[in-house]
Amino acid sequence: MWGVVSQKVLGQSLQHLRPAASAWRGFASATKEMNVRDALNSALDEEMSADPKVFLMGEEVGEYQGAYKITKGLLDKYGPERVLDTPITEAGFTGIGVGAAYYGLKPIVEFMTFNFSMQAIDHIINSAAKSNYMSAGQISVPIVFRGPNGAAAGVGAQHSQCYAAWYASCPGLKVLSPYSSEDARGLLKAAIRDPDPVVFLENELLYGESFPVSDEVLDSSFCLPIGKAKIEREGKDVTITAFSKMVGYALKAAETLEKEGISAEVINLRSIRPLDRATINSSVRKTNRLVTVEEGFPQHGVGAEICTSVVEDSFAYLDAPVERISGVDVPMPYAANLERMAVPQVEDIVRAAKRACYRSVPMAATA
């Protein structure tokens, strides 16, 4: 393969890349099913039960049991001192949450949609993310900001934006984005236990989806490592990276590609910051091709960062140009037909993977 040079030449520059681990591949001995809503609810319940410092606050999280019923039953079980209904003022209750974290409590702040977190971004960035560094490590801010992120269905531009790239660009934050029920339980538990501020980006359209879960996942001690991606499907011809709902699209694309003789490896990022560069680069060195998938805007996106990492660390292994699939560079349209055109579809991923494998006419040639 023409792109690969000898390890002797690249050895020094590549030593810092760890080989991809396979410990988290597949759903280990999964025998039951759980939807993402119940996975998040059970994680909140178990962590609140295990640690009296954990409390929940946000709009309609108590009496209404959450706009999406993620907090169902928690007010009755833990009372209004630990499940706090707030006024419609994100700047206000987010500031209260950050202050509580300064004093050693562990708040979980729910945004009805992450679009509304823009009202509170000063507290998230300037107060939560920077305090540990500015205090020389004397102040920890163990807080979780969680809620639905990205496109839903028919909710317009002001309720449809993906903020993964926004928050992932800020030092001091950890940014997680689950896909399956296993992700939701394990990553939310990890976020609540973490001593640093965590932005936890869910997806409204995934709440009702069910996934297989093992007894290990259902155990109250279950927790997933922050910063570790999961290889959802192994392959040898092209690497596809995705997060949140796009993981499902990538897996469907891989099934289609398999029928055409293309073996796609699908990586569920799980963690946007820190990003598991080692797993991504290890996969690309095996497949020699990369397609990134995300719902967010194309410029300065998560896919752009992944492509940069691969170009910096594994360029000599590439046998084709990298491909980025993203939302289009416009605010989300309201009309259903335009909305579908504005976010990635399975067929977009299939076409990109085929281009990378030289199974179709390059995009430039069809312009």
Which of 310, 324, 318, 273 has its CA nearest to residue 17? 310
- Active site positions, annotated: 90, 159
pLDDT confidence of residue 331:
95
For residue 142, pLDDT over 80 is answered with yes
For residue 162, pLDDT over 90 is answered with yes
pLDDT in tens, 273-290: 999 999 999 999 999 999
**Residue labelled with tokens 């939310």:** 188
Residue 332 CB partners (closer than 8 Å, separation 6+): 151, 156, 157, 160, 161, 339, 342, 343
For residue 5, pLDDT over 70 is answered with no
CA atoms within 13 A on the CB side of 56: 33
Average pLDDT of the segment spanning 118-143: 97
Is the model more confident about 24 or about 169?
169
3 state SS of 55: strand
For residue 26, pLDDT over 80 is answered with no
Could you tell me the pLDDT band of residue 41, with boundaries at 50, 70 and 90? very high
Tell me the CATH architecture of domain 230-357: 3-Layer(aba) Sandwich (3.40)
Q: Note whether 233 and 266 are within 8 A (CB).
A: yes
How far is it, in rounded angstroms, from Cα 82 to Cα 45? Answer: 11
Average pLDDT of the segment spanning 154-165: 93
Number of neighbours of residue 305 by Cβ within 10 angstroms: 18
pLDDT in tens, 343-359: 999 999 999 999 999 98
For residue 74, pLDDT over 70 is answered with yes
User: Same fold for the domain at 32-218 and the one at 230-357?
Assistant: yes
Cis peptide before 80 (omega within 30 of 0): no
pLDDT confidence of residue 4:
41
Rounded to two decimals, the pTM is: 0.89
For residue 199, pLDDT over 80 is answered with yes
Average pLDDT of the segment spanning 23-37: 68
For residue 46, pLDDT over 50 is answered with yes
pLDDT confidence of residue 277:
98
Percent of the chain with pLDDT over 70: 90
**Residue labelled with tokens 């490896």:** 265
How far is it, in rounded angstroms, from Cα 326 to Cα 315? Answer: 22
Residue 36 CB partners (closer than 8 Å, separation 6+): 178, 180, 181, 184, 202, 206, 207, 208, 209, 211
Domain ranges of the chain: 32-218, 230-357
pLDDT confidence of residue 31:
73
pLDDT in tens, 304-336: 999 999 999 999 999 999 999 999 999 999 999
What mean pLDDT is reported for the chain? 91
Does the domain at 32-218 match CATH 3.40.50.970? Answer given as: yes
pLDDT confidence of residue 109:
98
